[in-house]
Amino acid sequence: MVQAVLFEVEDNVAVLTIKSPPVNALSHAVRSGIVDGLDRALGDDDVKAVVLIGGGRTFPAGADIREFGHPVQDPWLPEVCNRLEMASKPVVAAVHGTALGGGFEVVLAAHYRIADKDARFGLPEVTLGILPGAGGTQRAPRLAGAKFALDMMLTGRPVPVTAPGAKVFFDAVVDGDLRKEAVAFAQNLISEGKGPRRTRDQRIGFEDPHAYQNEVTNRYRMVARQQEYAPEQIIRCVEAAALLPFDQGLAFERSSFQDCLETSQSAALRHAFFAERRAGKFPELKTGQARELNTIGVIGAGGLAASVAVICLQEGWHVVAATTTVRAAEHAASEISKLLGGAVMRKHMTQTEADEALARFTTASDLVALSEADMILDCTIRPPSAKRDVFTQLDAIAKEGAVLVDAGAHSKVNLLAQATGAPGDVVALHLYAPLRISKVAEIVPGGNTSEDTVATVISFLRKLDKFPVRAKNEQIGPRILAAYRLAADYIVEAGGTPYLVDQAMRGFGMNLGPYQALDYEGFEASLSAQGSACRASHQPDFVGRLQAAGRNGARSGKGFYLYEGKPASVQQDPEVIELIRAYREENGIDPRGFSEEAIRYRCLAAMANEGARLLREGVARRPSDIDTVMIHAFGFPRWQGGPMKAADNAGLLHMKVELERFAREEPKFWTPDRIFDHLAKNGKVFDDLNTQ
Ligand code: CAA
């Protein structure tokens, strides 16, 4: 069996190298290996100091998340950290890559810490619905105070070792051979007679108790309205760090960690973590080779084209933006330079970076300018026949091997592929707005799309920090969104108010309620994009009544809400209630009431049912792919795990029975897909379909 921790002695220094690819997660084998190596080092009179270092690409990136939810095998990570800290010989942690979560807690427990200049560290447990459970909440504030420690723990963001404030954790940041530097550092300690320096004894972070407590109080206030459980527990632990003796603080942390771990929120967040990674496992990656990308071509003068051009420029690619008229080309150029200016203003990039980006950018009023592009994204929305014409033109213009992408996403990719002589190079891609923020994109390969083309698009998306999700023939997100909105419309049509629906769904954790979202998108844009994406025999049309009354969404000043003043104050409007009441009356609908609970259940059931249909039709490969899309494209609460995970939690048998009950009102839409029956009969849930 390969050893998870390698023990070597180099000039009186024991070097423990963790070798557990890919990210050296602190599995049972690694934890045991560290403890065994430490015991061996402490028992060897020739060893005077210990260096702990990660092999491969990183220092441990955390506890092994796959072990959560299973009985813990000794030694626990807190015990490993305590043993390191209490060691009688100095222990030096040498950090490269990303020391995250439990990995950084090991670093904090070491007596001395040195890091490679490109290393990053952090405590991202909150993103998994838990808290640092191996002493991190007690040790980090002892060194860095409440502000820095809470920033790390509440945002979960990794921090570069060179960032302001990071110095408190590291004795040296080095550029060169980390292992060599770490051994030299340890030898220095030996020659200077320096022994262990235990973080548990440090109080530098508590120097200003008032500032510490103020920070804690402010953070309680900031998380008070959040629905997530872990953030408040993190603050409690950091508060306890300053109030309790170290060992009691550790015990408090341990019990809070256990509480967090047992929540359904944590289970959902861990599901989301693995769902995002699973989504990127495309069969094409087994043999497909990503082609090199230097120049990206973008077709279109609209918002999508401009955003695509800007994120590609920010990534360092050359971009050619091509349109078909001089006017459109000028418009595209001005939009792109406006967006870059905005990015500088918002400090997403410096002025120098924006200038360099502009220097890599050209615009043209003729598609011929795209002849040097390695990938061309058509970001226009036009009728299929016009799209085909564009792809036929591109076939003649594009260089050999250029990947041709339909990013307008309303055409059938196979039709476009047939319009070219290289169907293997053609693929569709569905990007979500706002492009800079949304972390997901759907790749829709055609029947002949080559493995290299898919691999190239995946590599393109990864560079843009987006999770690729595979879809077949059509996109996943719009179908689920349409089902969600239709369920909401049925509720409003039957007697609920849009305001109650919004409130209920915000209570579920959605960023915005469906009607707020519709207001911000604008009725026209949103309704034309939505069409009748899901099966239903009737579509309520009270939105049409609102439009007829001059309401078109937030930009027009009136939608479901009133937007008055600058900045706009958003208010409910009795006129909307009246318009909907009149609509019901004309349609002979006797209104009935809905509880928030019932609204949430119907909306979730509609999404899960549409998800089940997408799975059966083969549009989506796995339930967890649907979850990833909904979390990152439409603000579905990550801590609910996505609609399919949330449906599992709600109970599939119960959901099937409820769907059957709703189906008496609208059979075509509500009748449960037969997957519900199949899973329920076999005692299974959607998660059981989440194969690699
Ligand atoms: N446990 C188990 N597996 C992990 C893992 C972890 N902590 N971190 C990453 N992996 C796995 C991923 O699932 C993936 O596996 P597959 O190849 O089978 O899909 C593989 O390692 C590579 O991961 P990525 O694809 O994410 O690689 P990346 O280079 O894009 O990112 C990373 C690397 C920044 C370390 C990222 O994986 C990451 O953020 N990991 C999670 C870090 C984290 O949350 N740590 C805290 C854990 S909880 C904890 O430590 C609790 C505690 O206090 C005791």
SS (H, E, C) 578-624: HHHHHHHHHCCCCCCCCCHHHHHHHHHHHHHHHHHHHHHCCCECCHH
Ligand 1 centroid to Cα of residue 294, in Å, is: 30
Structure tokens at 231: 């953030």
Which whole number is the average pLDDT over 115-126? 98
Q: Does the structure show a pLDDT above 80 at 508?
A: yes
Atom number, ligand 1, closest to the C-alpha of residue 462: 30
The gap from C-alpha 159 to its chain's centroid, in whole angstroms, comes to 18
Residues assigned a catalytic role: 105, 125
Residue type, 325: T
Beta-carbon neighbour count of residue 141 at 10 Å?
30
Top mutation candidate among 18, 20, 23, 34 for ligand 1, by most atoms within 8 Å of CB: 23
Ligand 1 centroid to Cα of residue 19, in Å, is: 15
Name the residue among 107, 102, 93, 98 with its Cα closest to residue 131: 102
Q: Is the CB of 98 under 6 A from ligand 1?
A: yes
Q: Is the CB of 57 under 6 A from ligand 1?
A: no
User: Dmax over Cα atoms in the chain, in whole Å?
Assistant: 92
pLDDT single digits (tens) 167-225 = 999 999 999 999 999 999 999 999 999 999 999 999 999 999 999 999 999 999 999 98
Q: Does the structure show a pLDDT above 90 at 687?
A: yes
pLDDT single digits (tens) 405-421 = 999 866 689 999 999 99
**Sign of the C-alpha dihedral computed for residues 519, 525, 529 and 530 taken in this order:** positive
Atom number, ligand 1, closest to the C-alpha of residue 274: 13
Q: Does the structure show a pLDDT above 80 at 532?
A: no
Residue type, 577: I
Which whole number is the average pLDDT over 544-549? 92
Contact yes or no for 626/653 (Cβ under 8 A): no
Q: Is the CB of 25 under 6 A from ligand 1?
A: yes
Ligand 1 centroid to Cα of residue 102, in Å, is: 11
Structure tokens at 144: 């860095």
Q: Is the CB of 65 under 6 A from ligand 1?
A: yes
Give the whole-angstrom CA distance, residue 317 versus residue 311: 9
Q: Please, which pLDDT band fits residue 1 given cuts at 50, 70 and 90? A: low
Contact yes or no for 394/366 (Cβ under 8 A): no
Atom number, ligand 1, closest to the C-alpha of residue 64: 1
Cis? peptide before 132, omega within 30° of 0: no
Atom number, ligand 1, closest to the C-alpha of residue 132: 53
The kind and range of the H/E element at 190 are helix 178-191
Q: Is the CB of 249 under 6 A from ligand 1?
A: no
Ligand 1 centroid to Cα of residue 21, in Å, is: 11
Q: Is the CB of 100 under 6 A from ligand 1?
A: yes
**Sign of the C-alpha dihedral computed for residues 626, 629, 631 and 636 taken in this order:** negative
Which residue's C-alpha comes closest to atom 39 of ligand 1?
Answer: 61
pLDDT in the model for residue 565: 79
pLDDT in the model for residue 410: 61
Residues with Cβ within 8 Å of 419's Cβ and at least 6 positions away in sequence, in order, are 388, 389, 391, 392, 395
Q: Is the CB of 101 under 6 A from ligand 1?
A: yes
pLDDT in the model for residue 529: 55
The kind and range of the H/E element at 260 are helix 246-261
Atom number, ligand 1, closest to the C-alpha of residue 66: 2
Contact yes or no for 55/75 (Cβ under 8 A): no
> Picking from 289-293, 352-356, 380-384, which range would have the lowest pLDDT averaged per residue?
380-384
Which whole number is the average pLDDT over 514-527? 86
Atom number, ligand 1, closest to the C-alpha of residue 156: 44
Q: Does the structure show a pLDDT above 80 at 533?
A: no
641/324: higher pLDDT: 641
Atom number, ligand 1, closest to the C-alpha of residue 123: 46
Q: Is the CB of 64 under 6 A from ligand 1?
A: yes
Beta-carbon neighbour count of residue 329 at 10 Å?
20
Integer CA distances (angstroms), 337 to 298, 306, 325, 357, 359, in order:
15, 9, 19, 10, 11
Q: Is the CB of 128 under 6 A from ligand 1?
A: yes
Atom number, ligand 1, closest to the C-alpha of residue 128: 44
Q: Is the CB of 629 under 6 A from ligand 1?
A: no
Q: Please, which pLDDT band fits residue 334 given cuts at 50, 70 and 90? A: confident
pLDDT in the model for residue 550: 93
Ligand 1 centroid to Cα of residue 127, in Å, is: 12
Half-sphere exposure of 28 (CA within 13 A, CB side): 8
pLDDT in the model for residue 303: 86
Q: Is the CB of 102 under 6 A from ligand 1?
A: yes
Top mutation candidate among 65, 130, 259, 459 for ligand 1, by most atoms within 8 Å of CB: 65
pLDDT in the model for residue 324: 80
Structure tokens at 239: 């508060």
Structure tokens at 518: 């519709």
pLDDT in the model for residue 409: 66
Give the whole-angstrom CA distance, residue 62 versus residue 101: 4
Q: Is the CB of 468 under 6 A from ligand 1?
A: no
Q: How many residues does the chain have?
A: 692
pLDDT single digits (tens) 79-105 = 999 999 999 999 999 999 999 999 999
Ligand 1 centroid to Cα of residue 26, in Å, is: 10
> Of all residues in the chain, what percent carry a pLDDT higher than 90?
84
Q: Is the CB of 105 under 6 A from ligand 1?
A: yes
Ligand 1 centroid to Cα of residue 274, in Å, is: 9
Which residue's C-alpha comes closest to atom 53 of ligand 1?
Answer: 132
pLDDT in the model for residue 524: 81
pLDDT in the model for residue 372: 94
pLDDT single digits (tens) 6-50 = 999 999 999 999 999 999 999 999 999 999 999 999 999 999 999
Global pTM value: 0.93
Residues paired with 174 in a beta bridge: 116
Which residue's C-alpha comes closest to atom 15 of ligand 1?
Answer: 277
Atom number, ligand 1, closest to the C-alpha of residue 273: 13
Q: Please, which pLDDT band fits residue 155 given cuts at 50, 70 and 90? A: very high
Ligand 1 centroid to Cα of residue 437, in Å, is: 21
pLDDT in the model for residue 527: 63
Give the whole-angstrom CA distance, residue 90 versus residue 197: 7
Which whole number is the average pLDDT over 164-169? 94
Which residue's C-alpha comes closest to atom 36 of ligand 1?
Answer: 61
Q: Which residues of 597-635 are buried (b: 16+ CB within 10 A; e: fewer)?
A: eebbbbbbbbbbbbbbbbbeeebbbbbbbbbbbbbbbbe
Which residue's C-alpha comes closest to atom 44 of ligand 1?
Answer: 124
Ligand 1 centroid to Cα of residue 201, in Å, is: 31
Mean pLDDT of all residues in the chain? Answer: 94
pLDDT in the model for residue 530: 52
Q: Is the CB of 109 under 6 A from ligand 1?
A: no
Ligand 1 centroid to Cα of residue 310, in Å, is: 29
Ligand 1 centroid to Cα of residue 100, in Å, is: 9
pLDDT in the model for residue 72: 86
Which residue's C-alpha comes closest to atom 12 of ligand 1?
Answer: 277
